[in-house]
Chains A and B, each alone.
Chain A
């Protein structure tokens, strides 16, 4: 067997949040919570030479979720997909986040995987993170230096890289009470099948219609760039529209080309992604329109 120096790898199971923050202040560590991404890499022989900080035992300090007085949802760092889906208010008020949660892997992954882990993992094909971005979620980061917040819209700095400093951990995700209620929320994941699939192309949208026209829009693209991202040109092209006619459709397609240059890769082609994403935008505009 290949010899591996024991000093090259270590794992520390944090007993308290203070302990975790102390450890993070001393050296960069690979955070481990639900393990549904990390363990796949580890099982394939990756992640050698890393030092791990297992925070999965900090449920009393970082687990669960709560509703704040202003109607916002606070999702603790260790809150799993299964836990939040069991909340009737989350189902009633945040259907796009619930739709995304339901499609993360399948039952066994949803028991273990966390929203914060999904955000920090930084996959451009993430399920929950794009819904959180379309809901204007904010990332709360803790370190020995204190607590700071970063809008998820500014969290990704590149492919799988985030604004988190190495001495910080995500303590919570804050989802403001969404404008426009539930009827403006749209989530669609296109993959090879409903469950246990990785997104070929996905759209998380909030499109607010008032007085017969679109007054506000959040358009978030999945698997269309190096990170999940807002499509600002599309959002601007949607604002003010009252009818999605042929001219509007071409304007939306031009806006998309300014926002997104999808790739060919093992899961799909650039052309397929661009065409399907455009149609998802049209579907979102149509389905969110009050009848």
Chain B
């Protein structure tokens, strides 16, 4: 039984990373209907930048710096690469993001090389005797949780709460939701629609960057590191419903947990851990058969 809980907790932690990256995908999809295939590579690149900064700086100096750089990169990509193809057929935009995928991958290999690097987890912090983050594991009764898994959870929850507050209670967040729903009416309200899209990309890249920083200690830093994560993140986004932020997170958790359980409990004669991708995708197919728009997705009917 301990092993079971162990796998569930680990699954929740990796699932939150999938959820974060899925959230990044959904943030862009909701406002622009663009499926950003380069989302994972953007996160990979910012993680490399983080690694470089760590060569001369503290972790907690690097962290906010990387978030700012990520936001800048997201805004830059929207303005320079995505804006010109806005209004083009969907397939064209997808090809553009796939091209970005390849370019960012090559840039990382060219600048930092292909050899996997270790990446540190956030260092230990002690607040009034209670320890957060760092090395080791915490005994929580039925099982133990590594401090890094806990860190991931804390960050994921904090980001989701922050995004919820931002979209629900600030004028800018409200304007972004309005833009996603009805761009023409938004312009009549005096909202600069283009600027909202830029902010959306910046926000998305920032959330993705956090996902990259959190997953890198678990899977080593190297150019193709986000490919698997991106696949699961896409699956999570589709499972939850592509236009639902809550769905992205829930989808991520479901996939993270099921991936871990399938990897552990599939008998050897059935290929063991190798089955986890297959079974996970099978779950998605079944859910989508029942609810084609995902668990939290809205019905695909749209008034034009």
A, B co-complexed:
no
A interface residue numbers (CB < 8 A to B): none
B interface residue numbers (CB < 8 A to A): none
